[in-house]
Amino acid sequence: MNTNGAVPCLLTTWSRSEQMLFRWLVKRCGDRDLAVDVLQETFLKALQMNQSFCEIEHQKAWLFRVAANALTDEWRRHQHDDELCDAAIPTLTANTDEPEAVDGLTQCLPTALERLSEDDREIIQACDLNGLSQQAFAEQKQLPLSTVKSRIQRARAKLRDQLKTHCHIRFDDNHKICCFTPSSLK
């Protein structure tokens, strides 16, 4: 991949995350070629963000989310392939060093978000899922940054409660998601 013109923060985050992301993709899909394709697609999406990538608070998490979404898109394109469909089924894990526990929550997250108020959902989607900085969100909404910080903390707490209740997630001693039991959320 040609990295000319890439912003330094992207290159730094990428160099720290690329191998871990690749191993995670191979583990998820069992296909090294597909993992390379998804890895390249993830890098290109980050590269397209240009300087905006530097404003993302959790850049590594953003890269994993983009990669997970790209892998899901590949699975959807190949639904007829039983092997890919079987690999798409999330597994229960107790290992907090691996993102599978968090990744498995993707089936619960959309419904949990729908259960939030429109304001809470908007701020979570903008700042946490789409990577918009809290400062940029504050400017867009013409709100003080302190107000945005308070609102996002409250919205995250509400989302956490929804996920704990409806996805039966558990947290380890470091307050990280360690495992969950998917449910229908209906």
Query: Which residues 6+ apart lie within 8 Å of 29 measured at CB?
Result: 35, 38, 71, 74, 84, 87
Lowest mean pLDDT segment, chosen from 8-17, 38-47, 72-81, 150-159: 72-81
DSSP assigned state of 179:
E
Rounded CA separation 59/14 (Å): 9
- What's the pLDDT tens digit per position in 24-77? 888 888 888 888 888 898 888 888 888 888 888 888 888 988 898 888 887 777
Which pLDDT does position 141 carry in this prediction?
92
Query: Which residues 6+ apart lie within 8 Å of 101 measured at CB?
Result: 92, 93, 94, 95, 169, 177, 178, 179, 180
**Which residue type sits at 50?**
N
Lowest mean pLDDT segment, chosen from 82-86, 105-109, 114-118: 82-86
Where exactly are the structural domains of the chain? 1-89
1-89 CATH: 1.10.1740
